Amino acid sequence: MKSNSKKNRLNRFKVQGLLVFALVAFAAIIAGCGSSSDSDSGSKIALVAYSTPQTAYEDGIEPGFQGTDEGDGIDFSNSFGASGDQSRAVEAGQKADYVNFALETDVTRLVDAGKVADTWRDNKYKGIVTNSVVSLVVRPGNPEGIESFQDLIDKDVEVVTPNPFTSGGARWNIMAIYGAAINEGASPKEALDSVKAVLAKTPAQPESARVALQAFVGGAGDVLISYENEAIAAQTAGEDVEYVIPDDTILIEQPAAVTIDAAQSAQDFLDYNWTDAGQQIWQEQGYRSVNPALLDKEKFPVPSGLFTIEDFGGWDKVATDFFDEENGSIAKINQELGVEAE
Amino acid sequence: MSGEAQTVNPVAPPTGKPTRAGIRLPGVGESLNKGLVVTYLGLIVLLPLAAIATKAFEDGFGGFWDAVSSPQAFAALKLTVIASLIVVVINAIMGTLIAWVLVRDEFRGKGFVNSVIDLPFALPTIVASLTLLVVYGKDSPVGINIAFTQTAVVVALLFVTLPFVVRAVQPLLLSLDRDMESAAESLGAGKVRIFWRIIFPNLAPGIATGVALAFARALGEFGSLVLISGNVPFKTEVSSVFIRGQIESDNLVGASAVSVVLLATSLLLLACVTLAQRWGLRHDR
Amino acid sequence: MTGSGRLSRWSLRYVALGYLAMLLILPIGVILVRTFDEGVGAVVDAITTPDALHALRLTLLTVIIAVPLNTIFGVACALIMVRGKMRGKSIINALIDVPFAVSPVVVGLALILVYGEGGWFGADLAAIGIQVIFSTPGIVMAVIFVSLPFVARETIPVLQEVGDDQEKAAETLGASSWQIFWKITLPSIRWGVSYGVVLTTARALGEFGAVTIVSGRISGETETLPLFVQKQFETFNSVGAYSASLVLALLALATLLALNLMRRKEN
């Protein structure tokens, strides 16, 4: 019996030891990883961006910057994801020195949260580092003969567009349809009807642009509303996609900014984007230069009826008027379509 | 080794106090065991849950109700709940059947089939979604195109909930005492009768568990639906996509509110299943 | 066996296999075909890049932490739920299932609400130098959360099924609690626990939704293998995406194979 109780005590220690070990390991992980970032601020830039320009940054802009005097010896930690998710992450405390998003409201969120100075737009290009345009991706050979947003309504086609409520970037698409109608002389009410007519023909509204492209390539719909840089990236990667730039379409403006606590190197990096060298790299990657003198008009034809979000009052106004999930015009359209579908 | 009760009178163990062994982890007192379990659950589950619940009611009950009863939220909830119910019924039947075949039957390739049951869990949902689109979309190798329909939602959910009932029933089948079955068979009972009267009651807890888990998972599923379901509001948009939209619009209260409803629905099913089990047990005696 | 017995056995088998073929085998076949679309070399290249290897290490790390913790919890919880006397069992019962009913999107949101900068504990933890969100601990917590229920849920029915007669008998014969646990209790629930571990591992390996929100998605630092898969997908690298998924599937298979080996050793 005595040996039993000794064994008992030993076994008790074994189990408790195991539990303690597990807890200690857990704690060690937490402690160890708390300081994962370099404290040598200035030699590493924490870049947080939306998902599309990943290749552009990793293969083009970052090496380009590292080749300059200011960029010599500077390292990057890269984070890419859906624009809204990334913006919210930075708002919730994710370390970021340089941010680049798909639309302005994702930067405004950070301004409101005190992470980005409200002077971020006070430069020559108003904080926009790259441009693109909303374009129509069609089947090879364009069998339906799609040329404009009006064709989407007139022709018997199925349309795929990312869901503008789960993907902020997809809001560009909606405003493109709206603005194209306005350009053709429609009243705001008629233009909204055009949007509604297009949305009524969508068998799929995937949650992001890339997923929408994949769905389209996988057989969904006859035409995909997407961004020119997305289509070019797909083509470069070997996907068999063909795209059309309508005469009336919206200019996509992709903003970038540095955070308030960022080191000078981040600002240097931001400035690099606007140098001729930087803008050329962006163009090679499929983005339109924001510098009109540098714009490669052969690769990037300028639509005759190009308009911008400013024509509708800027994103702050549009986000409220159109995309407020209760009272926005688009939300109302969704409801009407939903009721009609019953 | 079946659980035959000993008929000797219990003798108090030499150490004096009854240790209530088998009731807790060895070396750890019963209250410490309880404490650890409760703390773990509290830290890992309760804390985040409380955060969501707090957020959901941040604008009071009125705000909660507004968020949940909006037409789009309601449409998404309806589709989600109905699809999930269909899925669990199919799973209850097919899951049990598959578990039966895997335990009681022998055929070539059984080991392979058994191994791949869990793959829907291990595969990142984007891959699941992509694969389902390829198999059941426009270029389907078996000629079945259900992409962007509500059927697609059900199929995707069936894919990700496949392991639940199967893996919950298998251990019970493996631990089953075959003596009673043999006895009943030798007394002339038919196979179906044997199944319903003897085997099924022992499997019921596993089926119930699997169903409750599958339902909960189906309610919240997101990733595997992205490519194949279409996400069209009011038609093929499930609640998790709707929640994502709420978050994107910075409406955390709405997102939390709908999440709370999903959670409540799942707990409701769990309660029903538990009650049904207890009722079944009571009526068996 | 009688003729009708054979027929019924076959029909059961083929219905089950047919269902599995349509729902599971066919998709897996497609994955395999697409993975090796550009040959084995391309697959090996895709999964041996520094980012891929780091993602694999990070995923394995989270699994090695999450699975044992959840297993210990699961067994302890099952013991209490089935054999213990306490109030609030139904609350615990409900809490165990919560991780499933919460969409992964919401899991991430919940963790940020608790541990994020503006959240309940974020600021306090940051003050003492602990960063949970957007760092490895956040990832581990998310993975623990989503894979928590399995061992408990698999073990509870089995424990109920086997009863505690043997333990009581052993106790009266003077066995220590350690002996009873290891020699009687654990073996009686081994299938429940084993399948629970298999499921927990598979789930922990494949978690994407919650991790993508709480990890910060920093390539080479906080990117797990499922996140890596997503990144490959986003950059039109489908071979990369499928290859990394294949690795995840193989890891999940490995746990099951280990289980099968144990079973075979027994028989």
Domains assigned to chain B: 59-284 (1.10.3720.10)
- Cβ-contact C171, C180 below 8 angstroms: yes
> In whole angstroms, what is the distance from residue C65 CA to residue B36 CA?
17
Whether residues B72 and A337 touch (CB distance < 8 A) is answered with no
Closest Cβ–Cβ partner in C65, C134, C177 for A94 = C134
Mean pLDDT of C203-222: 89
Q: What is the pLDDT of residues C87-111, one digit of tens each?
A: 888 888 888 888 877 888 889 889 9
- Per CB-CB distance under 8 Å, the chain B contacts of A215 are 133, 227
Q: Which two tokens stand for residue A61?
A: 């802009």
Looking at chain A, list the stretches that DSSP marks H as alpha helix, in order from N- to C-terminal side. 2-34, 54-56, 62-66, 83-91, 104-112, 149-154, 171-183, 188-199, 209-217, 228-236, 264-274, 276-284, 314-321, 329-341
- Distance between first and last Cα of chain C: 24
Delineate the domains of chain A, giving CATH numbers in brackets: 38-130+253-284 (3.40.190.10), 132-251+302-341 (3.40.190.10)
Contact of A102 with chain C, judged by CB distance below 8 Å, is answered with: no
The bridge status of strand A223-227 relative to strand A159-160 is: parallel
- Among chain C residues, CA nearest to A30: C137
Distance from CA of B119 to the nearest CA of A (A): 22
- Among chain B residues, CA nearest to C32: B131
Q: Which two tokens stand for residue A149?
A: 């947003």
Is the per-residue pLDDT at C126 higher than 90? Answer: no
Residue B100 confidence class, pLDDT cut points 50, 70, 90: very high
Supply the pLDDT for residue B7.
37
Whether residues A237 and C237 touch (CB distance < 8 A) is answered with yes
Q: Which two tokens stand for residue A298?
A: 């052969």
> In whole angstroms, what is the distance from residue A117 CA to residue A114 CA?
7
Supply the pLDDT for residue A159.
95
User: Residue type for A68, please?
Assistant: T
Most confident residue range from B101-105, B217-221, C61-65: C61-65
> In whole angstroms, what is the distance from residue A28 CA to residue A26 CA?
5
For A207-258, where are the E strands, in sequence order?
223-227, 242-244, 248-258
Q: What is the pLDDT of residues C47-59, one digit of tens each?
A: 999 999 999 999 9
Whether residues B27 and A337 touch (CB distance < 8 A) is answered with no
Percent pLDDT > 90 in chain C is 30
Mean pLDDT of B99-116: 88
Looking at B105-149, list the stretches that DSSP marks H as alpha helix, in order from N- to C-terminal side. 110-116, 119-122, 125-136
Instruction: Output B187 or A290, whichever has higher pLDDT.
Output: A290
Q: Which of C102, C190, C197 to mutate to test the interface with B (most CBs of B within 10 A)?
A: C102
Supply the pLDDT for residue A62.
96
Mean pLDDT of B144-164: 90
Closest Cβ–Cβ partner in C17, C148, C245 for B44 = C148
Supply the pLDDT for residue C128.
84
Supply the pLDDT for residue A18.
56
> In whole angstroms, what is the distance from residue B4 CA to residue C109 CA?
51
Residue A250: beta bridge partners?
Answer: A307
Question: What ipTM did this prediction achieve?
Answer: 0.83
Q: What angle do CA A336, A339, A341 make, to 5 degrees?
A: 110
Q: Give chain C's mean pLDDT.
A: 87
- Cβ-contact A113, A197 below 8 angstroms: no
Supply the pLDDT for residue A31.
42
Q: What is the pLDDT of residues A26-47, one digit of tens each?
A: 545 544 443 344 444 448 999 9
Q: Per mean pLDDT, which range of B233-242, C92-101, C221-230 is the poorest?
A: C92-101
Chain centre distance of CA A224: 17
Q: What is the DSSP letter of B211?
A: H
Residue A134: beta bridge partners?
Answer: A227
Contacting residues for B136 by C-beta, under 8 A, at least 6 apart? B144, B145, B146, B147, B152, B155, B228
Mean pLDDT of A260-273: 94
> What region does C165 belong to: left with phi over 0, alpha with psi -120 to 50, or beta?
alpha
Q: Per mean pLDDT, which range of B4-13, B269-278, C244-253 is the poorest?
A: B4-13
Helix (H, G, I), strand (E, B) or coil at A197: helix
- Cβ-contact B127, C242 below 8 angstroms: yes
Mean pLDDT of B5-14: 38
Partner B, chain C 38-67, Cβ-Cβ below 8 Å: none
Is the per-residue pLDDT at B179 higher than 90? Answer: no
Mean pLDDT of C259-264: 75
Residue C162 confidence class, pLDDT cut points 50, 70, 90: confident
- Per CB-CB distance under 8 Å, the chain C contacts of A76 are none
Give the up-direction half-sphere exposure of residue A209: CA atoms within 13 A in the CB hemisphere.
30
Instruction: Output A114 or A25, whichever has higher pLDDT.
Output: A114
- Among chain B residues, CA nearest to C99: B45
- Among chain B residues, CA nearest to A324: B249
Q: Which two tokens stand for residue A116?
A: 């980005």
> In whole angstroms, what is the distance from residue C85 CA to residue C130 CA?
38
Supply the pLDDT for residue A125.
94
Q: What is the pLDDT of residues A46-102, one digit of tens each?
A: 999 998 899 999 999 999 999 999 899 999 999 999 899 899 999 988 999 999 999
Instruction: Output A146 or B36, whichever has higher pLDDT.
Output: A146
Q: Which of B136, B248, B251 to mutate to test the interface with A (most CBs of A within 10 A)?
A: B248
> In whole angstroms, what is the distance from residue A312 CA to residue A175 CA?
9
Whether residues C137 and A29 touch (CB distance < 8 A) is answered with yes
Is the per-residue pLDDT at A269 higher than 70? Answer: yes
Supply the pLDDT for residue A95.
92
Supply the pLDDT for residue A250.
96
Is the per-residue pLDDT at A213 higher than 50? Answer: yes
Helix (H, G, I), strand (E, B) or coil at B121: helix
Supply the pLDDT for residue B11.
40
Chains near C with 3+ CB pairs less than 8 A apart are A, B
- Per CB-CB distance under 8 Å, the chain B contacts of C253 are 115-116, 119
pTM over 0.80: yes
Instruction: Output A191 or A25, whichever has higher pLDDT.
Output: A191
Supply the pLDDT for residue C9.
81
Is the per-residue pLDDT at C156 higher than 50? Answer: yes
Q: Per mean pLDDT, which range of A13-27, A117-131, B56-70 is the poorest?
A: A13-27
Is the per-residue pLDDT at B237 higher than 70? Answer: yes
- Per CB-CB distance under 8 Å, the chain C contacts of B163 are 199, 202
- Per CB-CB distance under 8 Å, the chain B contacts of A331 are 72
Residue B15: Cβ within 10 Å count: 14
Percent pLDDT > 70 in chain B is 88
Q: Give chain A's mean pLDDT.
A: 87
Supply the pLDDT for residue B102.
92
Chains near B with 3+ CB pairs less than 8 A apart are A, C
Q: What is the pLDDT of residues C8-56, one digit of tens each?
A: 888 889 999 999 999 998 888 888 888 898 889 999 999 999 999 999 9
Q: What values do phi and psi take at A60, rounded to 5? A: -125, -70
Most confident residue range from B126-140, B241-255, C118-132: B241-255
Mean pLDDT of C234-238: 85
Q: Which of B94, B100, B71, B213 is nearest to B155 (CA)?
A: B94
Contact of B231 with chain A, judged by CB distance below 8 Å, is answered with: yes
> In whole angstroms, what is the distance from residue C99 CA to residue B192 CA?
37
- Among chain B residues, CA nearest to A7: B27
Residue B178 confidence class, pLDDT cut points 50, 70, 90: confident
> In whole angstroms, what is the distance from residue A100 CA to residue A110 CA?
12
CA distances from A174 to A104, A164, A324, A330 (A): 16, 7, 14, 9
Q: Which of A166, A320, A334 to mutate to test the interface with B (most CBs of B within 10 A)?
A: A166
Is the per-residue pLDDT at A9 higher than 70? Answer: no
Q: Per mean pLDDT, which range of A110-119, B10-19, B177-186 is the poorest?
A: B10-19
**Sign of the CA dihedral running B153, B154, B157, B158:** negative
- Cβ-contact A100, A256 below 8 angstroms: yes
Mean pLDDT of A206-218: 86
